[in-house]
Amino acid sequence: MSEVPVVQCTGVIKDYRGLRPLRLLDLVLHAGDRVVVSGLDVVAAEVVTNLVNGFALPDQGEVRVFGRPTTAITDADTWLASLDPFGVVTARALLLDAFTVRDNVALSLTALVDPVDDELVPKVDAIAREAGIDEAWIARPLHEAPVPVRMRVHLARAIALDPSLLLMEHPTAALEAPDRAAFADDVARVASARALTVLAVSQDREFARRVATRHLQLHPGTGALTPIG
């Protein structure tokens, strides 16, 4: 019996009021794949996330996640339960500048922060370090942290609940060139250590080179995906 894909998008069309609808003709990720898709803007990247996690349904075609069509999710409780395998790295996620880096990472695990419960601190700090956050930043207010640290807070939050599928929306867009490679290396290290399946939307070829097992170019008019490199 063949392995069930983690993500499978077949003949997908989704109108999101852009220049043209989002089209994904045939996208398949198996367990452990790390796929970077280029050719989508920030808004379209959000649409991809929402299609895969079931928040939005395609107008045409089918999205299957772990073999199950997203159309099978028919109520809020089922949808919330279906989110357990997902981690999402997106600049859309709210960061609380008045709280510490530790507090912000902990918000994926608990609503009780400022301060984080003493029993939870070792776990939170370990996740922060795993995401590449230097020990010196963990107890400092987030508003003092530079962009590379803030992006790693997003990464730390995304992995905190032990997902199996990591979705990323233009993760290096806010980073300067020297910082992109270091962040990409952290993502690759985390994904490898945790055996994560990764679907990232990015225009960053260096990020793709360092992270991806496959780098694909989306042709927006047809939805076809062709290999890069």
Mean pLDDT along residues 107-112: 95
Indicate the average pLDDT of the chain.
97
Determine, yes or no, domain membership for 38: yes
**Over residues 130-134, mean pLDDT:** 99
Q: Look up the CATH number of the domain holding residue 215.
A: 3.40.50.300
Radius of gyration of the chain (CA): 18
Separation CA 148–CA 132 (nearest Å): 9
Cα within 13 Å of Cα(63), Cβ side: 23
The confidence score (pLDDT) of residue 19 equals 83
Residue 201 counted as domain residue: yes
User: pLDDT tens digits for 136-164?
Assistant: 999 999 999 999 999 999 999 999 999 99
The answer to the question of residue 17 being in a domain is no
pLDDT one-digit tens code per residue, 43-77: 999 999 999 999 999 999 999 999 999 999 888 99
pTM over 0.75: yes
Provide the domain limits for residue 142.
Answer: 33-46+83-227
- pLDDT at position 192, please? 99
The rounded percent of the chain whose pLDDT value lies above 70 is 99
16 part of a folded domain: no
90: left (phi over 0), alpha (psi -120 to 50) or beta: beta
Residue 47: predicted pLDDT: 98
Is 11 part of a structural domain of the chain? no
Give the model's confidence band at 83: pLDDT under 50 very low, under 70 low, under 90 confident, else very high: very high
pLDDT at position 172 over 90: yes
Tens digit of each residue's pLDDT (9 = 90 or more) over 116-127: 999 999 999 999
Evaluate whether residue 139 is within a structural domain.
yes
- Is pLDDT at 215 greater than 80 in this prediction? yes
User: CB neighbours of 214 closer than 8 A, spacing ≥ 6?
Assistant: 33, 34, 35, 36, 227
* 2: pLDDT strictly greater than 70: no
